[in-house]
């Protein structure tokens, strides 16, 4: 059994939260998720706080800008990139201030290479995905940028262990050849699984920290994530239909960040820790693994990001996830 870089019975958030106040968001996360807090992302602040803009901000020597409402590779850094840097710096300063004596594991998030390639435009038009050479350049640039980012967080929080989450919501469409071209009349070529895993592994091996690969799409590319040498995979439990690949991943020692808590109220009810814990315990039982392994190998999370949820629901949900983690560790 691998020695996972998080405490037994841990819970964490996926990344995004509602609102624009990073100081308040950080207080909520540190208060409700003390075992495995994360750096909150607040996309309501606009360009540069969104998944693609924030992720592109980590690229080295590949500046970006907004053109016609989309992020595009630019000739030189400009105001859009400066805003992205300023927002990230503000977020990191809050993390440094509020978690200055934290000695556990903290998680930070960024868009992965395939999601960036499927959404960033080339200067000549078209997504970076159209050009394999551009995708290689992007991957290497992102790997170096995230290596520096992890090192910066580690310097700011010298007592903490840093965990990096790569968000890949576009990867299933990339693998299936379903990313549309500009005209919308055709799609870019499908990328095969081994090629996708190779690019992800380039980032995983460069950053100097354990990596969680996250995708809350129906077609979870679990084999690609395993081949990329990830420490863990994060997913929405409600979208998992075939349990056999999940069982094989557990047996291979992959950590699971299980999105077992709904991102919206169900029938008007607030989330209950007992229900969250029971969903995960039922899954584990169906897979046939020893109950004692569950709190070590599994981290509980919301099903996906929480940017669209109400502040009150977010606080209740994160608290319920934390309490559910405690429940599964007491069995």
Residue 330, pLDDT score: 85
Position 185 scores a pLDDT of 83
Q: What is the pLDDT of residue 1?
A: 59
Question: In sequence order, what are the beta bridge partners of 213?
Answer: 166, 233
User: Which residues lie below 8 Å from residue 236, measured CB to CB, with a gap of 6+?
Assistant: 216, 259, 303, 304
Angle among Cα 167, 173, 176 to the nearest 5 degrees reads 135
Q: Are 313 and 265 in contact (CB under 8 A)?
A: yes
Residues paired with residue 52 on neighbouring β-strands, in sequence order: none
Residues in the chain: 331
**Distance in angstroms (rounded) separating the CA atoms of residues 226 and 179:** 23
Which pLDDT value is given to residue 2? Answer: 72
The pLDDT value recorded for residue 328 is 95
Find, among 184, 173, 255, 247, the residue nearest to 213 by Cα. 255
Radius of gyration of the chain from Cα atoms?
A: 19
Please state the φ and ψ torsions of residue 41, each to the nearest 5 degrees.
Answer: -115, 135
Quote the pTM value: 0.96
CA angle 234, 236, 238 (to 5 degrees): 150
**Which residues lie below 8 Å from residue 189, measured CB to CB, with a gap of 6+?**
177
Q: Which two tokens stand for residue 326?
A: 């405690």
Q: What pLDDT score does 148 carry? A: 98
- Distance (Å, whole) CA 177 – CA 191: 7
Instruction: Give the per-residue pLDDT at 94.
Output: 97
Task: Encode the chain (331 residues) as per-residue pLDDT tens digits.
Answer: 578 999 999 999 999 999 999 999 999 999 999 999 999 999 999 999 999 999 999 999 999 999 989 999 999 999 999 999 999 999 999 999 999 999 999 999 999 999 999 999 999 889 999 999 999 999 999 999 999 999 999 999 999 999 999 999 999 999 999 999 988 789 999 999 999 999 999 999 999 999 999 999 889 999 999 999 999 999 999 999 999 999 999 999 999 999 999 988 876 777 899 999 999 999 999 999 999 999 999 999 999 999 999 999 999 999 999 999 999 998 6
* Predicted local confidence at residue 18, as pLDDT: 97
């Amino acid at each position: 059994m691998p020695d996972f870089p998080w405490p037994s019975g841990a819970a964490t958030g996926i990344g995004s939260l509602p609102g624009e106040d990073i100081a308040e968001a950080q207080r909520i996360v540190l208060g409700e998720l003390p075992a495995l807090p994360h750096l909150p992302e607040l996309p309501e602040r606009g360009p540069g706080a969104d998944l693609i803009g924030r992720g592109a901000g980590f690229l080295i020597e590949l500046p970006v800008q907004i053109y016609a409402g989309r992020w595009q590779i630019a000739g030189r850094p400009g105001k859009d990139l400066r805003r992205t840097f300023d927002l990230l710096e503000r977020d990191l300063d809050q993390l440094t201030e509020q978690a200055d004596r934290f000695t556990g594991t903290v998680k930070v998030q960024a868009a992965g290479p395939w999601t960036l390639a499927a959404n960033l435009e080339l200067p000549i038009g078209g997504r970076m995905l159209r050009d394999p050479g551009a995708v290689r350049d992007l991957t290497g640039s992102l790997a170096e940028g995230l290596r520096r980012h992890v090192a910066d967080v580690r310097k700011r929080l010298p007592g903490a262990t840093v965990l990096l989450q790569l968000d890949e919501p576009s990867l299933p469409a990339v693998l299936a050849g379903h990313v549309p071209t500009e005209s919308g009349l055709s799609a870019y070529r499908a990328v095969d699984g081994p090629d996708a895993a190779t690019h992800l592994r380039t980032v995983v091996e460069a950053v100097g920290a354990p990596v969680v690969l996250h995708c809350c799409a129906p077609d979870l590319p679990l084999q690609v994530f395993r081949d990329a040498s990830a420490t863990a995979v994060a997913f929405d439990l409600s979208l998992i239909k075939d349990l056999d690949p999940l069982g094989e991943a557990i047996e291979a020692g992959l950590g699971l960040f299980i999105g077992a808590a709904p991102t919206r109220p169900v029938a008007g009810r607030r989330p209950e820790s007992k229900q969250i814990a029971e969903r995960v315990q039922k899954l584990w039982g169906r897979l046939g693994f020893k109950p004692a392994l569950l709190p070590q190998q599994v981290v509980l999370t919301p099903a996906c990001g929480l940017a669209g949820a109400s502040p009150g629901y977010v606080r209740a949900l994160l608290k319920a996830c934390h309490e559910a983690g405690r429940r599964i560790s007491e069995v």
